[in-house]
Structure 1
Amino acid sequence: MTQNKTIPTDQTVQKFIATVDPISKREDAQVLDRVFREVTGFQPVMWGPSIIGYGQYHYVYDSGREGDFLATGFSPRKARHSIYIMPGYTDFGDILARLGKHKMGKSCLYVNKLADIDLDVLAELIRAGLADLNQKWPVQPT
């Protein structure tokens, strides 16, 4: 059985954020880190080289594959931020309609810059995503 490629690392979140370019993305990453810490109550952990995760869960699929993954988090990518709301099975359309300018992936949300969205609505979305995830697989602190 294959292992997850994205796993926790020893890299510090602060050091990673300090390397984010351009500066506007770095500043957004600092704000996102603060929002995620406040909403989740979890300390962040680097997952792979570029994902900042808050909390984690253990999953077991019907196929028998199992593993651990971040409960929620983000990655400050050059083009746009990727915000992870796991596992991505619930329709949060009512919240997303109030969020602001974004695009959706399967379990992630793409935002060009934080000025495009309402951070209070993002906080609501993070809470809703964690509650949904916790119903299927218990969320643990990091």
Structure 2
Amino acid sequence: MKPTGDDVAGLISRSSPAIRRRDAETLIALLQEVTGRTPQTWGTIIGFGSCHYRYPTGNEGDSGLICFAPRKNATTIYLLDGVGAHAEALAALGPHTTGVGCLYIKDLEQIDLDVLRGILARSLAWVEAGGTPEIQLTVTS
């Protein structure tokens, strides 16, 4: 995956329903605060910073350090360290669902933003520390 250089505001304005646009604006501000980086598009995903990853299998690629996508059914937040690393915090987050590396939120107004900020900061610190021997990460921006 590579940054596409599309307009972030344009991507947000095309998102539906309206709650996704509202939540995207909130996440942009929160992620800029947490990462100190500006948002950029990676297709239909909005990412902050970038890194290169490599698995022991040889599979490798590029990703944002932290990314999210305002999808129709829920906002998807991508966590490179996986949701399992945040089990305790997720219990206090508020209504959400998860996948292996995805956090799905339908309404940020129902979420404890301080808990979310902590999850995002811990995930970013893990990426910036280089991941694990199994998942090697190199921050590129």
TM-score by length of 2: 0.88
In structure 2, what is the equivalent of residue 26 of structure 1? Answer: 21
Does the CA-based 8 Å contact 1:130-1:139 persist in structure 2?
no
**Residues 108-123 of structure 1: pairs in structure 2 closer than 5 A:** 108-123=102-117
Aligned-pair CA distance for 1:76: 0.6
Q: Secondary structure at the match of 2:78?
A: strand
CA deviation vs aligned residue, 1:17-46 (integer Å, no higher than 9, x gap) = 111122222111111111111111111111
- Sort the Cα spacing of 1:114 and 1:89 in 2 relative to 1 into closer, same or farther, 3 A: closer
Q: Secondary structure at the match of 1:78?
A: coil
> Where does structure 1 lack aligned partners over 5 or more consecutive residues?
1-5
Does the CA-based 8 Å contact 1:80-1:112 persist in structure 2?
yes
In 1, Cα distance between equivalents of 2:85 and 2:120: 13
1:51 to 45, 49, 52: 45
- Sort the Cα spacing of 1:89 and 1:25 in 2 relative to 1 into closer, same or farther, 3 A: closer
Bigger mean CA offset, 84-93 vs 70-79: 84-93
**Residues 70-81 of structure 1: pairs in structure 2 closer than 5 A:** 70-81=64-75
Please say if 1:139 is aligned against 2:139: yes
TM-score by length of 1: 0.87
Aligned-pair CA distance for 1:65: 2.3
In structure 2, what is the equivalent of residue 15 of structure 1? Answer: 10
- Sort the Cα spacing of 1:84 and 1:129 in 2 relative to 1 into closer, same or farther, 3 A: same
In structure 2, what is the equivalent of residue 124 of structure 1? Answer: 118
